[in-house]
Amino acid sequence: MTPLLTIRNLKRHFGGLWATRDVSLEIQRGEIHALIGPNGAGKTTLIHLISGGLFPDEGQLLFDGRDVTKKTMHDRVALGIARSFQITQIFPKIAALENVRLAVQAQQRDWGSSLRMWRPASADFLMIEEAEDWLGRVGLAEHAGTHAADLSHGEQRALELAMTLATRPRLLLLDEPLAGMGPEESERMTQLIASLRGEQTVLLVEHDMDMVFRVADRISVLVAGHITATGTPEAIRVDPAVKRAYLGEDIA
């Protein structure tokens, strides 16, 4: 079977800085694939390139065999590539449930769904029920009515994950889901992401190595805009080049 995502010789520079030098990578269907690397290695740039937040200077992105290199972000979401952000992106002034409902509404792509101007959105019970399900999935059921701005940081991260899941992606891109979280919140999020195994293909950028080695099926190491190694957690753990470049003595 073809990989879900094929990245071919992707390049992107900012002025004189090559954030992505020459990245080729395949994401297999159903796997949780972690992308690790030191700060400034170009991990977030790569997520931007895959999600459509940035466009590459060279190279090609094939999603399910289809060239999406030039597609806009919202077109890619429609095809099934959805992402979370390193800095939480939610709608602070509305209730948590309403945040997710907007995601469900986006996913209903029958013609003009979001151009309906007369009928109250609150009349769509199915849409609201679906949003409630996703909130429950990330453990926020009792916060449905809470303004997103009043949620804790960890809850906001979970809310963003619920919104991203509610677009029903076929490829989920998570940019540092544990960023800024305390130990308890991290543990909850890690379990949540681990629970996606088997039902969801995930590309995950994360600095927390314990988490990465717990949830990932495969790991790729990005150093200075290059993929230096790809393999199972066991293989990456003992890879001498990786150890040298990134992991440090304590893991080795």
Partner 1 sequence: MRTYRSLGELSLLSLAIALPWLLQALGEDYYIGFATRLLIYALAATSLNFVVGYGGMVAFGHAAFFGGGAYLVALLMTGGLISAWASWPLTMFIVALLAWAIGAISLRTRGVYFIMITLAFAQMIYYSVISLKIAGGDDGLPIDQRSNLFPFDLANDNVLYWLALGLLALSLLLLKRLSHSRYGHALAGIRQNETRMEALGYPVQQLKLVCFVIGAALAALAGALLVNQNGMAGPGQLYWTQSGMLLVMVILGGVGQRYGGVLGAFVLLGLEEVLAQVTEHNHLYIGLILLAVVLYAPRGLAGLFCKSR
Residue 252 lies near partner 1 (rule: CB under 8 A): no
Residue 55 lies near partner 1 (rule: CB under 8 A): no
Alpha-carbon span 219 to 9, nearest angstrom: 19
Residue 97 lies near partner 1 (rule: CB under 8 A): no
Q: Of 23-31, 96-104, 129-137, 198-206, which segment contacts partner 1 by CB under 8 A?
A: 96-104
Shortest Å distance, C-beta 191 to partner 1: 24
Q: Of 69-77, 131-139, 205-213, 225-233, which segment contacts partner 1 by CB under 8 A?
A: 69-77
Q: Which of 219, 239, 196, 222 is nearest to 20 (CA)?
A: 222
Residue 78 lies near partner 1 (rule: CB under 8 A): yes
Nearer to partner 1, 88 or 230 (CB): 88
Rounded to 5°, the CA angle 62-68-197 comes to 60
Residue 120 lies near partner 1 (rule: CB under 8 A): yes
Q: Which of 136, 167, 152, 148 is nearest to 91 (CA)?
A: 148
Residue 73 lies near partner 1 (rule: CB under 8 A): yes
Q: How far is CA 154 from CA 93, 180, 190, 206, 215, in A?
A: 17, 8, 12, 15, 19
Residue 77 lies near partner 1 (rule: CB under 8 A): yes
Site of tokens 């290199």? 69
99 burial via Cβ count (<10 Å: 0-12, 13-18, 19+)? buried
Q: Using CB under 8 A as the criterion, which residues of the chain lie in contact with partner 1 when the complex forms? A: 51, 53, 72-74, 77-78, 82-83, 85, 89-94, 98, 101-103, 105-107, 109, 113-122, 124, 163-164, 167
